[in-house]
Amino acid sequence: MKNIIIVSSVFLLIACGGTKNIATSGDAEVADITTATVLKNYSENRFDFNTLAARMKVRYEDKKNAQSVTVSLRMEKDKTIWMSASLLGISLAKAMVTPDRVAYYEKIGGTYFDGDFEFLSEYFGVDMDFNQLQRLLVGQTVYDLEKGKYVVNDVNNEYQITPKKQLDILNLFFFLEPEKFLLKNQKVTQPKDRLFLDVDYRSHQEVGGKPFPQFIFIEVLDKDDRTTIGIDYRSVDYNATVSFPFSIPSGYKEIKF
């Protein structure tokens, strides 16, 4: 569970320091079809890309503070996630994430982190990777449904997808709406440690002919602590020409775990 929370925290670090809406009828009924058919329809309808450039409004809130920032997001599939946060046009922070590197710096405190997923995995004692963050941001299940065995059930008029056998310490739940097989919600829970992640895709838009998130609401419960992130995609440029300028300024203080 903590791997998903920590990967999401890469996004939290930023928040702290041509499209059209896709309408669904809302009354589509779950058809009696096989698990293989549900997974096939989801796979065929999911968003794919080479590069992406987007602007988002991100609101972060925990029990101590709340903050809204504008985030510029650029991505090259399976290679780079770049984010730059600003407030009222003033640059606050930048992050660069690749499969081999996790780096960010924030200007107010003059601090930075420059490491990798392997270091974070060893430090926190859990596995984590680049793909989980990438998949979350583009509206895909954080675990690849083409790997492993899953079952589908009708729950509240949605397709609920779960592993055929839940993992020892994790419970996974993915929910698709039955009309367009959009990912509506995904939950990752670790009941023993009272950890809970809920990612709710509250609205979608069409980008490149495929559904893409428009508003994402993320809730993280860690025992009695609650953190929420609202991600509102204001613009999305599909397969755009992108660059990833990133250089940690000299004189900044390294964050030590």
Provide the pLDDT confidence category of residue 28 given band limits of 50, 70 and 90. low
Provide the pLDDT confidence category of residue 25 given band limits of 50, 70 and 90. very low
Is the model's pLDDT at 31 over the cut of 80?
Answer: no
Q: Which domains does the chain have, with CATH numbers?
A: 2-250 (2.50.20.10)
Predicted confidence (pLDDT) per residue in 195-207, tens digit: 888 999 999 999 9
Average pLDDT for 139-156: 90
Provide the pLDDT confidence category of residue 29 given band limits of 50, 70 and 90. low
Predicted confidence (pLDDT) per residue in 198-244, tens digit: 999 999 999 999 999 999 999 988 888 888 999 999 999 999 899 99
**Both tokens assigned to 159:** 């397709």
Judge contact between 215 and 203, C-beta under 8 A: yes
How far is the C-alpha of 239 from the C-alpha of 48, rounded, in Å? Answer: 10
Residues 6+ away with beta carbon under 8 Å from 89: none
Average pLDDT for 48-73: 92
Average pLDDT for 145-163: 92
